[in-house]
Each structure stands twice: as structure tokens, then as C-alpha cells.
A and B are shown apart, each in its own frame.
Chain A
Amino acid sequence: KNQVEQSPQSLIILEGKNCTLQCNYTVSPFSNLRWYKQDTGRGPVSLTIMTFSENTKSNGRYTATLDADTKQSSLHITASQLSDSASYICVVTPTGTASKLTFGTGTRLQVTL
């Protein structure tokens, strides 16, 4: 069964610090992997998208990496801000479907003063 697991489940960091969130997936073959940010009570918003042949993708202070051999991805947040407090979700699109996005369990990040 296609699964996407994330760690840690939750994380608290001080403003200005960096952090790295992990994603492990079993979806295979897959077309692309996305990281979404979901604010409380809101819909997910895409941060990065990578195909299986890409290793890294940046979007401002967000940098995603992908290792298709080990089926792992990470999202690194640099110089965190209070507004980064949200859930970060790893989403994998299996090959052959544009619809059935497989969502991870999410990491709940809280940035504090």
C-alpha cells in the first residue's frame, strides 16, 4: 500500500533557528513529490515540487531534497519566522494519476520567541 510517513510528528524551535523535516515514502513508481504548508484551519499551499530525477529545490527559505534511491525527502527551513508555524505535509503523486495525491501525516512546527 502506498504510504508517506513524516517525522518528527511535532517540533518547537526558536525564531531564527533552522530545522529539517523528514519524509519517507513507499509510493513507487512516483511522478513527483511536493511539500505543502498548511496553516491551521486552511487548505494546503504548495511550497516545492520535485520530480524523481531532481535532488533539490528551493523556494526562498525553504529547501527540499529528494533521494529516490532511499525514498526519502527532507524540507529544510532556514532562519525560521513566527509565520512559519504550521503543519508541513509531504505529498507524493503516483505515476499514472494526477488525482490521487498521497498525503503524509504532517509535521506540526511551532516557532516561538
Chain B
Amino acid sequence: EPEVTQTPSHQVTQMGQEVILRCVPISNHLYFYWYRQILGQKVEFLVSFYNNEISEKSEIFDDQFSVERPDGSNFTLKIRSTKLEDSAMYFCASSGGRNERNEQFFGPGTRLTVL
């Protein structure tokens, strides 16, 4: 069964460093999403992406964040200058359509630890 994959599973970085989190969505999906989950808190929407541009973003997704689809298979989230509060689990998701009923399939997540 096709699934969303994410790398790395765990990333440790120093405050102020740039990190890139990688995702490979399900191959025939066209809509991509990033979410984050701070330890012990609820999952929060960050951004959605379609046709090589951002469709929607939350207030969390500020200028420190960017997303890119550098090739036909990868979808990345870049944090330019990490802060301690960026420590969280980051989930990538993809869906086959933009209809509200289209299920989003989530990857296993990348745990980001900022020291």
C-alpha cells in the first residue's frame, strides 16, 4: 500500500541553524501539507501546497519557513534559523484531491530537536 515517507526520522540542530525536512508524498497525489505537533500538544496546520505554490498557510508559518517541491517526488519544509520553540514533531501529508472529503495521508513524522 502506498504511503508517505519522511526523512530524517529525528533531526537535532543548534539554535540558529537551517534545517530541511524531507517528505515523499504518495506518487499520484497532488496536494501536500505540513503539520507540526509540539510535545504534549495538538497537531497544528502549517501550510498546504498545490501546483508549485502555497494554497493556504497558518499564522505559525512565518518568514522563517518555506516549502518547495524541488523535483517530481520530494516535498520539503525549510526552517531558516531555528528557534528553541521549533522543537516539535513535523508531519507531512498528501491527498489526491482538494475536496474536503479527500483524506489526507500522513507520514510517520520527523522529530526536530533544537538545542
- Residues of A whose CB lies within 8 Å of any CB of B are 31-32, 34, 41-46, 49, 51, 89, 93, 95, 97-106
Contacts and interface: CB of A to CB of B under 8 A. Distances in A.
11 contacts: A41-B109, A41-B111, A49-B101, A49-B103, A97-B56, A98-B31, A98-B48, A100-B56, A100-B58, A103-B44, A106-B42
Nearest to A102: B45
A51 B101 contact: yes
Interface string B58-83: 10000000000000000000000000
Interface in B28-67: 31, 33, 35, 42-45, 48, 55-56, 58
B42 A103 contact: yes
A98 B43 contact: no
A46 B31 CA distance: 17
Q: Which interface class (under 10, 10 to 19, 20 to 34, 35 or more) fits B?
A: 20 to 34
Contacts, number: 60
Contact of A32 (B31, B45, B101): B101
Nearest to A104: B42
Contact of A44 (B43, B95, B98, B102): B43
A98 B102 contact: yes
B85 interface: no
Given A98-B100, A103-B44, A41 B56 contact: no
A105 B42 contact: yes
A94 to B, nearest CB: 9
Contacts of A93: 100
A44 B44 contact: no
A93 B4 CA distance: 21
